């Protein structure tokens, strides 16, 4: 396990050694929302609603919701969650795809560990049954680290679009 942590740290060293600093990212604030953007709005004790943002009226957002003929004004102070479908920043893309890569690496690594043990390549097939667990966990650990690093790298390079949580202001 120490070896896996060391490999993860060494993989991150070239970026810092070469002085590569990620560019400043746009903060997740309500001013990031533009007219015509798709939103997911959640009020306390209600399901999330998809809407199209039309504009601001003081602290209220004017939203167009499918199935409603009138514009829906909602205060940002009444919301429990607000998400915007937009281009992700590099940091958001890195976070999103690193988690997906780690989850994928876990299952792929576990499957490879089971196959290697079943075929007798990694351990003695006549050994104790605990070896299947240790082999599977060891290879799954390498899969998580590899998937995390690979997903994070490609997610940072090409963040894509998706639902991004927007921080909400609070009443003072």
pLDDT in tens, the chain (172 residues): 444 444 344 344 444 333 333 333 334 455 678 888 899 999 999 899 999 999 888 888 899 998 888 999 998 888 899 998 988 888 888 989 999 999 999 999 999 888 887 777 766 666 677 777 888 888 899 999 999 999 999 988 888 888 888 888 777 6
| pLDDT score of 142 | 92
Indicate if 41 and 115 belong to the same structural domain.
no
pTM score of the predicted model: 0.60
Query: DSSP 3-state assignment of 1?
Result: coil
| pLDDT score of 58 | 80
Q: At 63, give phi and psi (nearest 5°).
A: -125, 145
| pLDDT score of 156 | 86
Indicate if 128 and 70 belong to the same structural domain.
no
Contact 101, 94 (CB under 8 A): no
- Count of all residues that appear for the chain in the document: 172
- What's the CA angle centered on 54, arms 67 and 42, to 5 degrees? 60
Q: Which residue has the tokens 């993860």?
A: 8
Q: Hey, CA dihedral for 93, 37, 34, 73, is it positive or negative?
A: negative
Indicate if 101 and 142 belong to the same structural domain.
yes
Domain of 66: which CATH number?
2.30.30.520
Indicate if 40 and 16 belong to the same structural domain.
no
Number of domains within the chain: 2
Question: Which domain range does residue 39 map to?
Answer: 32-85
Q: To which H or E segment does residue 39 belong? A: strand 38-42
| pLDDT score of 151 | 92
Query: DSSP 3-state assignment of 158?
Result: coil
């Amino acid at each position: 396990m120490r070896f896996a942590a060391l490999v993860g740290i060494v993989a991150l060293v070239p970026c810092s050694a070469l002085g590569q600093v990620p560019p400043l990212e746009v903060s997740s604030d309500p001013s990031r929302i533009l007219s015509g953007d798709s939103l997911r709005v959640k009020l306390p004790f209600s399901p999330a609603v998809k809407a199209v943002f039309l504009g601001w009226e003081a602290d209220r957002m004017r939203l167009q919701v499918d199935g409603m003929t009138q514009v829906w004004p909602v205060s940002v102070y009444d919301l429990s969650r607000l998400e915007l479908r937009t281009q992700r920043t590099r940091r958001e893309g890195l976070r999103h795809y690193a988690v997906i890569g780690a989850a994928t690496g876990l299952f792929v690594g576990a499957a490879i560990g089971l196959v290697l043990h079943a075929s007798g390549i990694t351990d003695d097939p006549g050994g104790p049954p605990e070896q299947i667990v240790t082999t599977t966990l060891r290879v799954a650990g390498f899969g998580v680290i590899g998937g995390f690093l690979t997903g994070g790298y490609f997610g940072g390079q090409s963040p894509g679009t998706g639902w991004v949580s927007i921080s909400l202001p609070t009443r003072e």
